[in-house]
Structure 1
């Protein structure tokens, strides 16, 4: 009887080992498929990130912060961030009551104020203005003087009309 118990235990152990080996290999195959899928997704995300970085560099091409020659123009003034300084000076023109003095249009739904500014180089700015409903764009020439004053001259402007 003792031999039969050992035989049954041996057969049971063999079946259990076979079952564990079979399910383990299936689990391993499933995990390998998941790993491969995640690796492909990771590679796709890396490619997407690379494309996004290239797009960002393209968008920043016309920017004072990325233009070493234009920044060198301001080295003697000792400004840490000329772009921020000039943008702040331009936004100060919004503080006057009524329309911004650089905007050559009368506000229809309120006063026209400058909203968004992109400093292209050491001479030009493109800016967006709006009264809350109507909007337009300005091309502004500026000069940063040695006394850190800024002179703005309007070069071009446009107002978008609504077509309904």
Structure 2
């Protein structure tokens, strides 16, 4: 009987040591995982904040520009679409987009690839001819029922 109690005591001691070591390893692994998740969360928050700041100059987030269009009985979303369509339609010119003040080089005209409407008056656009590229700052004027009028303010050719 004493041997059974001794064996049971030794067995329970070994079992408790095993449980302690195993639990410690599990807790350490979970702590490392939690630290990793916290680091990723902080990085994600910084990225979201940077993205919000990057979109600061956009018609979609500029309430004053939106109010300008509403006061003229225009929907800023429809205006934004119309302005982009009118801007890209100018690429159909055989000498390239007339808003880009550079003549075709090696027979390749400069065309506007993408643009961003900054507010109710300004657009920034990227253009290229396949080899060279640049950016152009445009002023635009919208009137209901008329084609959008554009004016080149400044360009940069890289």
Shorter chain as denominator, the TM-score bin is 0.7 to 0.9
1:82 is matched with which residue? 79
1:68 is matched with which residue? 63
2:156 to 133, 155, 158: 158
**2:122 aligned with 1:127:** no
1:50 is matched with which residue? 45
Q: Which runs of 5+ in 1 are unaligned?
A: none
CA drift at 1:16: 3.1
Separation in 1, partners of 2:82, 2:7: 81
SS in 1 for 2:9: helix
Matches within 5 A, 1:6-155: 7-8=3-4, 10-75=5-70, 76-108=73-105, 110-147=108-145, 149-155=147-153
Conserved? CA contact 1:65–1:83, under 8 Å: no
SS in 1 for 2:156: strand
Q: Which runs of 5+ in 2 are unaligned?
A: none
CA drift at 1:11: 4.1
So what's the TM-score if we normalise by structure 2?
Answer: 0.86
SS in 1 for 2:125: strand
Query: 1:54-75, CA deviations, whole angstroms, 9 ceiling, x for partnerless residues?
Result: 1112111111111001011222
CA drift at 1:98: 3.5
The structure having more radius of gyration, on CA atoms, is 1
- 137-146 vs 32-41, which deviates more? 32-41
CA drift at 1:27: 1.3
RMSD after superposition: 2.0
How many residue pairs match? The answer is: 155
CA drift at 1:150: 1.0
